[in-house]
Structure 1
């Protein structure tokens, strides 16, 4: 089979790494890819949001499967364009991708499906949002309705902080058009968990769980990021809670989307809060998480490619997945200054030493090769150091041993990934 993966981050490196191991694979491309992906796939200089060029390339090369990593191409209609061109695409249609493209749409669908979540209200005027915040008090959550690269959510400890978030999102438009509408939500109390389900429009198959670390600093301090690390599986999420999540959230939402004429195919990522009353929905994403994908892929025993095909072809009812009896942990290394302004072009050395630590796999997110062959940072989140081991403590020790083998003065990482479990 010939496969095209769309995207160029750590998630896409993990997907390419897993797909490259499939005996079904004959050729693998990634658009646009990165320096690490180039070691397992042929990188194509096409932007992830250039839908027309991606489809044209896939048709020219007679690609058997397009696998979309990021959310933006899906919300722009990549899967629909592939279908119109007679191409198979792993990922939801534009209509189904609204589950991530609009947080208000997610809340409406979840309510219609009876899925437990937070109390919420939608606002298109900042003054009304601020008045509601003053009425409700804090802590409270403020969300940009649209796509904001994982950074459009503020968990405000005070009313003043919540009002400032509304001003940033709606008045200063720090997230652009994504902030035209905001949601103000109840602040759920508990531990957050990322739950993934493989969906074919009618059937959902549990795909694993992870716990992400969103804030930039140790002890969950500082601003939100796209994710500074993850581990899988999180001990706070039990088998009983997984069954409850499937029965009360994932399957009812899948049925509601089908009822609306937008059946969901791909990966449904449920961000959950594990509360005293059980799992409650925070949000949906319509793709693998990043860095959660890296944590899942190093634990997956099954061939990923047939699973993706089964989701595309409506055959998940007769499918199952096998996992290694291992724990995994991913430490994200980011450029100094991230998630704010950061410098590009700093040289990274020592990845060969890092990769020699037993159980470690180094995934690239924002890297390029200079003409002299040197590896340099080209993004905010730059590397994902993943480790798998019999215990979470061993996985964490291996990941940080690999981090310490890397020579990159221009980078930093959190030193407490997995702290809630350990």
Structure 2
């Protein structure tokens, strides 16, 4: 009876647009939980305090919900239609991570998860709970345990069928469903994902120091980007796909079939000059329904100005200079750094002599002083 239910569940998941599905035990991630504890204890999560809050709930699904008997893991392919590394050569254009070029995957996938969960509850009579990555769930280890793929040396899930490009969601259920076989590691001796990282964010294979990761620095980090990483960020203005795109298993990847997750033309390679002119209303309009909107206009312009400083185009200096008068100290400080990279040294020093004394924010004054 349970095997028939699982077969029907798989068919329903495919009909709803999920590309893969697997089932695992709630206690299948004990080893991953140990590594997660080490990650937190070492402070490698940076300012992501939500990761360190009640870690037991992530480490053991039964702590999050004692009634869970099976964990259903689901994946949606969002494979890009072009190489995400190509835009890094176009230095006057902003590189936005593939996952954020379309609609917010949380909204798209959560509706499907809820629909599938309702179907399962009606068929089985068991309780269900739906989770996507805003909840205290270790999706990637659970995805490996359920056979969707394996956690590569870059700590992300890799699929033999979809490469690096899977959004994950979970359904916890009180139904006892047949388990799938866990996927084995197929990385071998390959180091492509580790070696390509611009900020050396991997102290060892299968270990990430988020504090050095460009995705963390441009998204989760609320303050100025540390000076030691600014040049390495290049033109990446929201996230980074380097370690994902470098994986050789992407030769089997397929283009995503969900239109809402496909890249919007205006976000593929947006002009840094145009992005630098966004006020709050224009920012919200451009990134409506996009994950980018959650970091806000000021953090986004901080990233854009870092990319402008790396563009090597003196013609962009006027965009940075205009933003020296921005209301946000975060934006003003990033504009200072951009100008220090674009203007001749004597011109920047002359500008600093007038601007630094007039600056009211201590952090921005420190930026002027450190760069002159």
Global fold match (TM > 0.5): no
Which structure has the greater CA radius of gyration?
2
Give the TM bin, normalised by the shorter chain: under 0.3
Q: Which has the higher contact order (CA 8 A, sep 6+)?
A: 2
Identify, as 1 or 2, the structure richer in helix. 2
The alignment's TM-score, normalised by the length of structure 1, stands at 0.25
The alignment's TM-score, normalised by the length of structure 2, stands at 0.27
Identify, as 1 or 2, the structure richer in strand. 1
